[in-house]
Structures are given as C-alpha cells and as structure tokens.
Structure 1
C-alpha cells in the first residue's frame, strides 16, 4: 500500500458491504480519513471494525435529503473540506416489462438517481477545487438484461450525470468519472440471484460469458476507484470505466 490519500478526506456512500466496503478499506489503508454511510446501525458497526484506520460511520439513507445533510454535518465537525466523494449507494431488483410497479420504479430511481444527484450536489460547498467525484455505474448502462430495465435505466442516467457535471464543475477543476462494474462477487448479487445454489449456478453461467473467465471481486473495483480518485488520473474526466473482465466489449 502507498500513502496516496494521506490526510485526504473521503466520503463513501453505501460503504457497509460489497464494493463500497472494499473501497472504504482501500482508502483507509492508504491514509485517508473515510466517512461511510449505511442504512442499518448494526451493519455500519460491523463495517467500521472491518475497515479500521480513520473511519467514521454515519447512519443514513441517501434517498433522504436530511440524512445527506447529517452526513456532511458529520464531516464538517472535523474537516474543512472533502477531497473525494464516491457516490456508491445503490441497488435494484428484477422485474420484467409488464410486471413493473410504480413502487419498483420509484424505489430504484430514488436510490440510484436521486440519491446520487443530491449526494454530489450537497457535497459541493465542502468539495475542494480539484477534488474527485466517482459515481457507481454498471455495464447495464450500455447492454440489455432481461427483467432489469428500470435498474439499467438508472445506471444510464448516472453515467450521463458525469458527462454533464464535468461542464458544470469545470471552473472548479473537479473531475467526475463513472466506474461501471460487471458481475461482481457481493452479497447483493447473491440476493439478486435468489441465494444458495441458484445464485451460484447463475454466477457460473455468467462467468462463462466473460472473456477473462470469471466474475469480479469487490477489491478489483476498489482499486479502480482509487485510481480515478488519485493524481495518477489527473487528466481523466467524464469517462465511464468498465471493470468487467471485458464483457462490455464483445
């Protein structure tokens, strides 16, 4: 590990499991002061122990603007600015066209679009000029998936946030990029695929479609996020970087 993020302040939403947890751990290991969010206090407490280092947990739902305000209030108690925001909180469920309910639509758009929008917008007063914002997209932003149209639409929206926000923020030299994972080994993926043997067989099938021959690990996504947040990516702006073993390229 290096100290690329020594004395940097990093916010990771949805940091209690999967990609968010792995990324928070990676930032903390490289010296950052990390703030994570999670909806449930018990999972937040467990995550804090796993991450270690200078990490603070703030319980909150990023679809709730008051909770986002509480997050940034917590940051301001000890820090005058933020160097990196990883707007990662998100999720989704499967529903084919014909079975999509208003609740399904509203829940996923609130989590993946509204939450990302206001997580970044409310960070602006604290973001230093030259800061880095990373959004969590998905390979579904450019490819079709049966029964996953609403989730896919939200991730296409997130990707386009980056294209537009780099123009809104150009005078402050704030970079905005999207990291788009492919199939990645997380608890959320297992839940999406029904758990147990069913989830494993689905993952095995999907691994066979990926040129590299396997699904991804959260730590691999985390390394990409840290690259985008670092000075090594100082001229990388507005992109969608696929971390998917090559699946989106075929």
Structure 2
C-alpha cells in the first residue's frame, strides 16, 4: 500500500469505533502518525491496538474544551503540528417533535456542532498552512427523517461550517471539506434500534432497501473517502460535500 501520508500528523476525534476507527486505521496504513480520541478508556485502548502503527490515544470528550486542550497539548509535546484534522466525534438519538427535551438538544448539538467548532478552532495554532480538515456530515442533513430532526439540523450546521471556514482559512491554504455518509454499519447506527439483535438487523435491512446499491456501507468505505479528500489528489477541492451513500440521495 502506498504511504500517501508518510511523515504527516493526523488527528481523528471519536476514533474508538465505527467510522472514526476505520478512518484512523486507514491513515495509519497510509503512513501517518495518528492521534485518536475517545471518551471511554477501555474502548480507546482497544482501538489503539486495532489501528496499529504510530498511533496515540488521548482520552477525552470533544465537546469539553478542557479535554481538547489536553489533546492539543499532547500533540504539541510530540509533533508540534497537525497536517490533517478529522473532527469525527459526534452522534445522536431519536426523539419526535413534541418529545424533544433540552437535554436531547444540548447533547446532540454539543457533540455535533460545539465539539466540531472548538475541535477545529483550538487546532488552528498547530494546523499547518496547506493542511486539510475533513468534517463528517450525514445524508440526514438533506432528508426528512421521522424523530431525527435535531440530529439532522446539527449535521446541516456541519455542512455550512465547511463553507464558512473555507473562506476564513483561504489565506492559509487550508482546505475544508465534508464527507456525508449514508447508512453505515456502525455501533452508533444499530443501537438506534435498541439492544435486540433482530431489531438491529431489521433496521439494517430496511435501510439497505432504500439504497440503490442495495446495501449499507462498511466503515472502511467512508474512511477511503476521507483520506481522498485529505490527500494531494484532492488539492483543488474545497468547501465541497462528498456524499458516500450508495446513491441514496442522488437518484
């Protein structure tokens, strides 16, 4: 495998499972020195082992500014710069209009919007000119999904952060883009159906039926899109949204 990111420093928040884990592993395979974060120590340690290569795990919650300071202090001590930033940490749960609570709103926007904003802003002193930021959006941002309006709104915000930041960072040549996955077989997705395995499989089967390619994605497929947008092959792509959804929102 080509070492496209040899000598590069990459940060992936929320890298202990799902898309974040697959993305961190892909960057490591391509030669990068990778930093990953996660909120739970045991899961983070397992992820570091699974990723392999030059990888460092830093426990923390991306929605907590003090934890972000710890992350960037750790990077400053070892590498003193960042080449690629992937603010992947996020998530959400389902509540229909009429049942939305302040706690639900704060949790969703705290993880998906506040966390992304300050993950990027606090990285700026370390982020190299000419570097890349790849945000993680969602097809939910452009579709109406029952009981998922708060999450969808948070991901629509992520898409527009990329537009604004592309102009804010133009003088530094830092490219900001968004990868928006469709349904991906991750713990975060299947848990929306609850703990029952049959219900989880039923959710995956239903989602696959809505996708032209007839299946949900593997996290590694999203990771490949992220590494493409972070690479020199995407050197003239900025402020863009790349849908990786099997055609679900495109046909």
TM-score by length of 2: 0.99
- TM-aligned CA deviation for residue 174 of structure 1: 0.2
Moved segments of 4+, more than 2 Å: none
- TM-aligned CA deviation for residue 203 of structure 1: 1.0
Partner of 2:108: 108
In structure 2, the gaps of 5 or more residues are none
Partner of 2:200: 199
Deviations 1:170-217 (A, max 9, x none): 000000000000000011111112241011111101101100110000
Q: Distance in 1 between matches of 2:145 and 2:106?
A: 19
- TM-aligned CA deviation for residue 80 of structure 1: 2.1
Q: Is the 8 A contact 2:190 2:203 kept in 1?
A: no
Partner of 1:91: 91
Q: Distance in 1 between matches of 2:43 and 2:36?
A: 11
Deviations 1:50-83 (A, max 9, x none): 0000000000001100000100001011112100
Partner of 2:54: 54
Partner-residue secondary structure (3-state), 1:212 = coil
Partner-residue secondary structure (3-state), 1:191 = helix
Partner of 1:181: 181
Q: Is the 8 A contact 2:91 2:112 kept in 1?
A: yes
Deviations 1:64-105 (A, max 9, x none): 000001000010111121000001000000000000000000
In structure 1, the gaps of 5 or more residues are none
Partner of 1:74: 74
Partner-residue secondary structure (3-state), 1:132 = strand
Partner-residue secondary structure (3-state), 1:115 = helix
Deviations 1:204-231 (A, max 9, x none): 0110110011000000000000000000
Partner-residue secondary structure (3-state), 1:73 = helix
Partner of 1:222: 223
TM-score by length of 1: 0.99
2:150 pairs with 1:165: no
